[in-house]
Structure 1
Amino acid sequence: MQITVVGGGVAGLVCARTLHRAGHQVTLIEASDGLGGRVRSDRVDGFVLDRGFQVLFTAYPAVQRQLKLAALDLRAFDPGAIVAWRGRRDILTDPLRDRDPSALIGAVLAPVVSIGDKLRTLQLAVQMRRQTIDELLTGPDRTTLAELQALGFSQQMIDRFFRPFFGGIFLDRSLQTSAKCFRFNFKMMSDGQTVVPNSGMGAIADQLAAELIAAGKVRLQTRAVALINRDGGVSGVRLADGSELQSDAVVLATPAPETARLSELPVPEGSLGSSCVWLATRQPLYRGTKLLLNAEENAFVNTLAPMSAVAPGYAPPGWHLYAAAILGVPELDDSTLIARVMVDLHRIFANEAAATTALANARILRVDRIPFAQFPQPPGLHPNLPDNRTTRRGLYLAGELTEASSINAAMLSGERCAEAILQDVAR
């Protein structure tokens, strides 16, 4: 069976590799010059820069099925986070996972949130560990904000920790994202580690693609402009150069807007964007490998990630690499956006001469703008997402848009799409 997979992101790679291993003739086409979609890394003057700040949860079920994690040289962030607020920085951490005595003591004493909120967080982590994923996702849905309020968390805890932390995951600091997404991600962090490969997130895509590339199944810089419709079904794709790829089945593994353009099928609407400023300093801004959260109400930088402290492969010797993550894509030119980032960072480290000096001499490596990083996931959305099978014979969908916005969901969709095709072939 000849199958064309359109899109070389994580979902397309998983789907294509599964079908290839099943013995089908697969061609994966990708419009850009590389594979992985957002899960790509670039080398810039000896630094490794991902396409925006992103991490991997080792507890993701699909990740455990699809990746050889030991081969990725994974490096872990320390559990918890450093919360920057009112000119100070306090530690919040998970005592079930954090083995640093100083971090545990600091977290207990930190005045950023109450002891009651810390105990509620611990109780929630224990509860999430005991429940299965299916148990977490059953029942009615509500917003993450409503979930946190129902769990008894104070407004202080919500504003100072959950908004910047989970706002960074969902790209929604208002916490209007489905509580089922919150429960799933909280469990993933409780059950495993938050990591990046030492050579960058692109190592994930490289591993998924290696088998397909070796078999000559990948065509880069090959853009599909239209589907070929025949006898009420889809029989291939038309390419930008005017040529056609005839296929028994076509998989659209593209972002939702591109899937909608090619298929004219309903897909999740809206988009959530993100931006990232990559900066390097000669001296570290702070010690340790915890994510720093900006809990100020008017925060421009949402999170600061010490990438080279976590994974030394991200920076050449003598340098410290940071990813300053911003929610959304501000309508600012690069110089203005960078200036806003530096204002926030100088405010966070205002009382530390060494960090202030390091920032004054920081090297800006790149500004990433990602207009479509996720689609909005309000309560009740997921049961109504598209199926991998479509109403058009020969056309299938793979990608976050059939599951949820995450690396796990993309891999899961790729798996399920391939399974649907194999089932249909067997009939």
Structure 2
Amino acid sequence: MTPAGTAAEATGAGAAATASETDVLVVGAGLAGLRCARVLTDAGLDVQVWEAGDAVGGRIRTDVVDGHRCDRGFQLLNPAYAAVRAWVDAPALGLQSFGAGVVAGTDEGRLLLGDPLRATRTLPSTLRHVAPRALDVLPLARWAAPLLRHPAGRHLAHHLTSGGDTDLRTALDRAGVHGLLRRVLDRFLSGVVLDDSTSSAFALLLLRSFLTGVPGLPAQGMQALPEQLAAPLGARVRLAHRVERVGPAGPRGVLVEGPAGSVRARRVVVATDGVDAAGLTALEPVRTRGVVTTWFATDEPVGLRSATEARMLHVDAREVPAGPLVNTAVVSAAAPTYAPEGSHLVQGSALLRRGTAPATDGEIRRHAGLLLGVDTSSWRVVVRHEVEHALPAQPAPLAARRRQALDSGVVVCGDHRDTASIQGALVSGDRAARTVLTDL
């Protein structure tokens, strides 16, 4: 937030004379901002949501190209998240589930590893590959033991961090987790958190969510999620309303200014990503992780060994990965609405690393073909997305609840204030709304 001072106060006082007024102005129509606005609106407050983009969703956007639905950065919705169960009508989204497991690329070939309780067809393959590595399972179970002690604990994050949290790599080393199962876990989680390592406690929280729910994609694309949250807000959401300044407006509240005008609010909630939030407030910038995703289409069926395998994520579990991808998937096999009839849609995602050139479409295509075990000569690029600030970093020790209330009537929310996930964004928005209601 602009520091208080004579110049700032003069600017605020002059603009305040012509500014419109509202109880709360929410900056940003991502998941956190939309959840916050809904709670405040239901409480009877006058709320406006200013969104800089041409649609709601923040980083969750879906491009439709030649009938193909391509999300900006491959991501999935897990219906097991508590916030999703509480505040999202998942059945109305027409969620299309991926398989409960992964296909791991190794030097010996592709290994199908599934959840034996939910993906029963994968049981023979899973047992065949895991049984010879039974000694590797015990250390993995030792690392995951906190989930057994608190499988559905309301304060699981507290339980996981009360004894100290360390980065995932160190935690797995201490537990003695090595070999193929370690590589599968490492590569799978890299695609979820967009990092080579993360907080061990956060990894366990994610693991619990994958064990209790199977992620999928809405029929109309991931953007259908924020659109559902925005629908009850109606005209309160104002698109193409970029905010350039958040500052004091004397004793009467906070002044928000942008090219579309200015508004004076009793309270302002900055619900942008961590980078933009730091530009509007006194918060320190957060570290972020990026991803590049290329979407390919082909008229030729992607010939995998089975329909079960086709609906799985594919990861590279070689000791030395054969390419840049953290995962690839035949998206239209799991979510048929993502491709028009007669076409098949494949995505490949790689990490964006600072100081290193992004993976090229050719590199992504080659690695995806290797992991899927298919010929890619008929593939054509539909669209490529480079999302520099896709997720906030989630280092150890896990900070599942960061400060939201700032001075002078400003509250900040977003996944950078809770956990780097859809769950974290929704919870953060809800928490910010409760803070505002208590304050007012």
Per the normalisation by structure 1, the TM-score is 0.89
**What is the identity percentage for the equivalent residue pairs of Structure 1 and Structure 2?**
28
Contact residue 180 and residue 317 of structure 2 kept, 8 A:
no
Give the AA of the match of 1:145.
R
1:295 is the counterpart of 2:295: no
List aligned pairs for 1:238-253, cutoff 5 A.
238-241=257-260, 243-253=261-271
SS in 1 for 2:44: coil
Residue 165 of structure 2: which of 135, 141, 149 is its match? 141
Q: 1:28 to 1:418 in 2, by over 3 A?
A: same
Give 1:393 shift: 2.3
Give 1:272 shift: 0.8
> What CA deviation, in whole Å up to 9, does each residue of 1:128-169 have, x standing for no partner?
77352524542111111222233332244222x012101111
Give 1:13 shift: 0.6
SS in 1 for 2:25: strand
Partner of 1:367: 384
1:412 is the counterpart of 2:411: no
Residue 405 of structure 2: which of 389, 393, 396 is its match? 389
Which stretch has the larger CA shift, 189-198 or 121-130?
A: 121-130
Give 1:86 shift: 1.6
Distance 1:27 1:62 in 2: 23
SS in 2 for 1:64: helix
Partner of 1:347: 370
Distance 1:406 1:112 in 2: 33
Unaligned runs of 5+ in 2: 1-21
List aligned pairs for 1:7-406, cutoff 5 A.
7-86=28-107, 88-100=109-121, 103-110=122-129, 114-118=133-137, 124=144, 127=148, 130-135=151-156, 137-138=158-159, 139=162, 140-159=164-183, 161-173=184-196, 175=197, 177-213=198-234, 216-231=235-250, 235-241=254-260, 243-267=261-285, 269-281=286-298, 282-286=300-304, 287=306, 288=308, 289-296=311-318, 297-298=320-321, 299-328=323-352, 337-349=360-372, 355-356=374-375, 359-382=376-399, 386-390=402-406, 392-406=407-421
Contact residue 234 and residue 395 of structure 1 kept, 8 A:
no
SS in 1 for 2:48: strand
1:421 is the counterpart of 2:436: yes
Give 1:324 shift: 0.5
Give 1:360 shift: 0.1
Give 1:191 shift: 1.3
Give 1:113 shift: 7.5
Per the normalisation by structure 2, the TM-score is 0.86
Give the AA of the match of 1:235.
V
Alignment: residue pair count = 407
Give 1:348 shift: 3.2
Contact residue 228 and residue 234 of structure 1 kept, 8 A:
no
Contact residue 95 and residue 217 of structure 2 kept, 8 A:
yes
Which stretch has the larger CA shift, 399-408 or 136-145?
A: 136-145
Contact residue 252 and residue 396 of structure 1 kept, 8 A:
yes
SS in 2 for 1:399: coil
Contact residue 26 and residue 49 of structure 2 kept, 8 A:
yes
